[in-house]
A = this chain, B = another copy of it.
Amino acid sequence: MAKKVTMSELARLAKVDISTVSRALNDSPLVKPHTKEAILKIADEIGYTVNVAARNLRKQSSEAIGIVIPLAPGSEQTISDPFFLEMVGSVSHAASQNGYDLIVSVPQDEMKIAERRLLRSGRADGLIVIGQAGRTERLNAMSASNSNIVVWGGAHGEQNYTLVGSDNVKGGKLATSHLLSLGRKNILFLGDVSLPEVDLRYEGYVKAHNDASMAYDPDYILKLNFGGQSAFNGVLKFIDEGFVFDGIFAASDVLAMAAIHALQSRGKSIPEDVSIVGYDNIGQAQLSTPPLTTINQNITQGGAMMVDLLLAKIAGKPAPSKFTDTELIIRKSCGGVG
């Protein structure tokens, strides 16, 4: 165990007061350059590192932000979902670029606990919350009592907190229009439309049909949570019950990949028999067979946006909600009708 080396130890070695050491380390102009150099040299030699607990206590800040991933209760989705994980990676990168640490929290219980544990305890200066399923009110309350919160989710107009997300309606429309333009007529929607974001993607699905003056069957929705397994089974059942379809728009890439799988296991080929579009553009999307056409949520951009907005809030500056660039990525899981 490395014996701890404190600032007063460093001060003693440099034969100056501890306050001078503090200023020197923080590059204050109050310290004579010559003295500063000497102190920094010694600090480096003895491997001094400031004690953040003391620093945070005095400065009343933590130089850390928290990312909270509250899993939708009852959903199969786990932290192992690639979308969440990529989001953690992206936020982690953006945070460290800004010199902030990232604390990951996957609350088992109520989100209120996570807020207390991270924000009010002073552990983090701000919070990024991924997903808002059924928590709009709580998020509004949290945001009212402490404004340093940025949320990833879909814009429903009932939020008074800063929101970042893809343009879900646009994304849904892009995906569906693409399928329609390929000549697909019976498009199955995969996703639980009672979830925020997913409802907006379905709204885009409807709009695309209307814009193209095409009819859509409201029964062509498989209300699936985000788990791959339930999607696999759901699609199999849908096929086996005799429903006919030639296109699928899935509310996530994991669902889309599970659907591809289910179709293939029933002897259908993609994209000849059924064209498929996913949503998210997770890393694995381009490695699926066939590579998946999908809506790019731009997770990397989104993570950076959230961190930027959060730091702006922490600094007391305005932080308006934003969309990430939302675009269609065309790969081989879509093809025109024979």
Residues of B within 8 A of A260 (CB): 289
Shortest Cβ distance from A311 into chain B, in angstroms? 16
Stretch in A33-41, A82-90, A203-211, A238-246 touching the partner: A82-90
- In A39-84, the 8 Å CB interface with B consists of 47, 49-54, 56-57, 62, 64, 78-82, 84
Docked Cα-Cα span, A1 to B93, in Å, equals 27
Shortest Cβ distance from A45 into chain B, in angstroms? 14
Residues of B within 8 A of A123 (CB): 52, 101
Shortest Cβ distance from A160 into chain B, in angstroms? 15
Stretch in A18-26, A114-122, A130-138, A183-191 touching the partner: A114-122
Known contacts A47-B120, A52-B122, A85-B82: A64-B103 contact under CB 8 Å:
yes
Residues of B within 8 A of A93 (CB): 79, 106
Known contacts A64-B103, A103-B64: A261-B283 contact under CB 8 Å:
no
Residues of B within 8 A of A88 (CB): 85, 88-89, 104
User: Is A288 part of the contact surface with B, judged by Cβ < 8 Å?
Assistant: yes
Residues of B within 8 A of A106 (CB): 89, 92-93, 96
- In A277-301, the 8 Å CB interface with B consists of 283-284, 286-289, 291
Interface size class of A (residues with CB under 8 A): 35 or more
Residues of B within 8 A of A212 (CB): none
Docked Cα-Cα span, A264 to B85, in Å, equals 28
Residues of B within 8 A of A257 (CB): 284, 287
Contact: B49 with A120, CB < 8 Å? yes
User: Is A258 part of the contact surface with B, judged by Cβ < 8 Å?
Assistant: yes
Residues of B within 8 A of A51 (CB): 57, 121-122
User: Is A155 part of the contact surface with B, judged by Cβ < 8 Å?
Assistant: no
Residues of B within 8 A of A264 (CB): 289
Task: Tell me the nearest residue of chain B to A287, going by C-beta.
Answer: B257
Known contacts A52-B123, A89-B80: A289-B287 contact under CB 8 Å:
no
Task: Tell me the nearest residue of chain B to A284, going by C-beta.
Answer: B284
Residues of B within 8 A of A287 (CB): 228, 254, 257-258, 261, 284, 288
Shortest Cβ distance from A90 into chain B, in angstroms? 8
Residues of B within 8 A of A224 (CB): none
A selection of 27 A-B contacts at a CB cut-off of 8 Å is: A1-B145, A1-B146, A1-B148, A2-B145, A2-B146, A47-B120, A50-B121, A51-B121, A53-B56, A57-B57, A64-B103, A78-B89, A80-B89, A80-B283, A85-B89, A88-B89, A88-B104, A93-B106, A96-B108, A102-B104, A102-B105, A103-B103, A103-B104, A228-B286, A257-B284, A258-B287, A288-B289
